[in-house]
Chain A
Amino acid sequence: MINILQIELYKLFSSYRTYITFAITILLMLIVDLGLYSDGEEIFSYLIQPLNDNFYVEGNIINGYLIAYLALNTLWVHIPVLIIIVTTHIFSGEFELGTIRILLTQPISRSNLLTAKIISMIIYTICFMLIVAFFALVPSMIFFGTGDVLVFIDGVQFIQEATFLLRFFYAAVFAVLAMIAFSSMAMFFALWFKNTLTAILLSLGLLILFTLIQTFVLGIFSSWQPFLFTYHIAKWQLFFVDEIPFSTILNSAFFLFAMSVFFIGVSFLKFNKMNISE
């Protein structure tokens, strides 16, 4: 099992695709920094204009912590897109290259092979989120310094500087779980259709559709929200609410965990009975 995992990781980290997604992420984080460095003051003075009637804001509202928080908003679409480009390829790439045949004709069990692939998918997702967290936080702290953070979630939230790093750490851990759940779904599509592009399109289609439904907070769609994975993925934001609602977050974490277990379980059933006839 360990040797199969080593081989899967070797293939994963030998592929240009892996490093391209890392590079795009780093670029994305640096662009957020650069954008806010040049126009941040103007944007934020516009955003907090309504507050000026009731509050007196002292000091520089734009700091490294705020930018790190804003960078995490790429979790909505950008990060899932980049992650599944690689994670779907871990599975369907073998079918596209025909290499699934050479792997399955070795004296190893299909379950061991799929387990190794799932572990490598999780390792990639963790690496990716570590890069996101590092480049969201460190350059912005260097360029903008640190301070209290003002965020807009269910009204205005003031996050004290001393608590920010812990909240950021929690949000990043939650994001790893969310991205593993999303990748598990994409993996299932990749195994089902044996095609990377189809798996990516289907996963992104659902991401966009559910995000759209989620925006309708009233009407018939409102009752659907607890069943949408995007609703639960978005709960990382709650770590930046003054009093963190841990029970709500745990519910969502459980939903995402159950979603991962479901898609991984169905993928095992599918893969173990799959005829490789092409």
Chain B
Amino acid sequence: MQILKVENLSLQYGDQSILNNISFSIEKGQIIGLLGPNGAGKSSIIKILAGLVFSKTGKIYFKGSLQNKFSDLRKYCGYLIDSPSLYPYLTAKQNLNLIKNINKVDLNIDDLLIKVGLPDVSKKKVKHFSTGMKQRLAIAQALLRSPEILILDEPFNGLDPNGFQDVLNLLETLNNNGITIIISSHLLNELEQFAHSFILLHNGNIELEICKKTLINSKKRVAFTFENEPSNVVKEYITKISGSFTSDSKAIIRLKPNEIAEVVNTLVNLKSTPINVETLTILQEQYLEITA
């Protein structure tokens, strides 16, 4: 079931074009990764979906129904935009109560704090929190309205490895409970493990839109590095399977995942065992290209 559809979204600041006719859709229960380098337009899309930035063009559908404004989406979504938005002079519980009272929801704050892994700090002022704790509290804030979609802009920023893993586990648990997640990040490798589909942005355009299944099954760019220049037989073999040499001892071949082992075996049999094999998915490849 399609939960969200964005059509022809554009944004301009003066003469500068930030987003150009962006269209995409999201299935319920998915985790969508918005990827791209700084200035690609990830945060702009999220801020438009949050009603923080106004776009004069574009349409938004929620469960197939056209919304009057992008900001109408706020009823169904929880947000974490940039760094956590918290009142440092209030406690964790007071921060959550503020948002709870705005939304007039009947929800147990203590249960929510347990859910995000902050059970013992409800009375602690936020100014004494670590970045990871603030991030988890901000996710709790976003969950207060029991949203159907969670929209997160760079939620891993500033987190140490433990904090990163905690937030990742939390998001996976929420997704397992049926929450659709849109997440923008520049941490490609981490997002690849976690998201179900990806939208790669560059200069306000969608460069690539791909789901994880297609990504896994699509050909990968495999780089074989040899100790010395390989023999002519090896060169012929690599050329035959549509590979090319980028230097005397480095060859690039596009291969499906199940073909990689076969090619390595053949190279071993030809007595040219590669000393290094690097694989790049099409997403990683394009990401590297646009960030180069």
Query: A108 to B102, Cβ gap below 8 A?
Result: yes
Contacts known (A99-B86, A99-B87); A105 close to B54, Cβ less than 8 A: no
Contacts known (A14-B90, A107-B103, A108-B102); A102 close to B85, Cβ less than 8 A: yes
- Say yes or no for B115: interface residue by CB 8 A criterion: no
User: Scoring B residues 49 to 79 as 1 if CB is less than 8 Å from chain A, else 0, what string do you get?
Assistant: 0111110000000000000000000110101
Q: How far is the CA of A101 from the CA of B151 in the complex (A)?
A: 13
Query: A11 to B98, Cβ gap below 8 A?
Result: yes
Query: A14 to B94, Cβ gap below 8 A?
Result: yes
Query: A14 to B89, Cβ gap below 8 A?
Result: yes
- Say yes or no for A36: interface residue by CB 8 A criterion: no
Chain B interface, number of residues (Cβ within 8 angstroms): 32
In the complex, what residue of chain B is closest to A94 when comparing beta carbons? B85
- Say yes or no for B81: interface residue by CB 8 A criterion: yes
B87-105 at interface with A (beta carbon < 8 Å): 87-90, 94, 98-99, 101-104
Q: How far is the CA of A277 from the CA of B85 in the complex (A)?
A: 14
User: Scoring A residues 1 to 39 as 1 if CB is less than 8 Å from chain B, else 0, what string do you get?
Assistant: 001101100110011100000000000000000000000
Which chain B residues border A97 with CB–CB below 8 Å? 85-88
Interface secondary structure of A, over-half rule: helix
Which chain A residues border B87 with CB–CB below 8 Å? 11, 14, 97, 99
Q: How far is the CA of A15 from the CA of B81 in the complex (A)?
A: 24
- Say yes or no for B284: interface residue by CB 8 A criterion: no
Chain A interface, number of residues (Cβ within 8 angstroms): 25
- Say yes or no for B47: interface residue by CB 8 A criterion: yes
- Say yes or no for B207: interface residue by CB 8 A criterion: no
Which chain B residues border A223 with CB–CB below 8 Å? none
Query: A275 to B54, Cβ gap below 8 A?
Result: yes
A93-111 at interface with B (beta carbon < 8 Å): 97-108
Contacts known (A16-B89, A98-B83); A104 close to B94, Cβ less than 8 A: no
Which chain A residues border B27 with CB–CB below 8 Å? none
Contacts known (A105-B52, A275-B52, A276-B53); A98 close to B82, Cβ less than 8 A: yes
29 contacts between A and B (CB under 8 A): A4-B102, A6-B101, A7-B101, A10-B98, A11-B90, A14-B87, A14-B90, A15-B89, A97-B85, A97-B86, A97-B87, A99-B85, A99-B86, A101-B52, A101-B81, A102-B138, A103-B102, A104-B50, A105-B50, A105-B51, A106-B102, A107-B74, A107-B75, A107-B103, A275-B52, A277-B13, A277-B44, A277-B47, A277-B53
Write the residues of chain B forming the contact surface with A, with a CB cutoff of 8 angstroms.
13, 44, 47, 50-54, 74-75, 77, 79, 81-90, 94, 98-99, 101-104, 138, 141, 145
List the 6 closest A-B pairs by CB distance, nearest first.
A102-B85, A276-B52, A105-B79, A275-B53, A98-B85, A101-B85
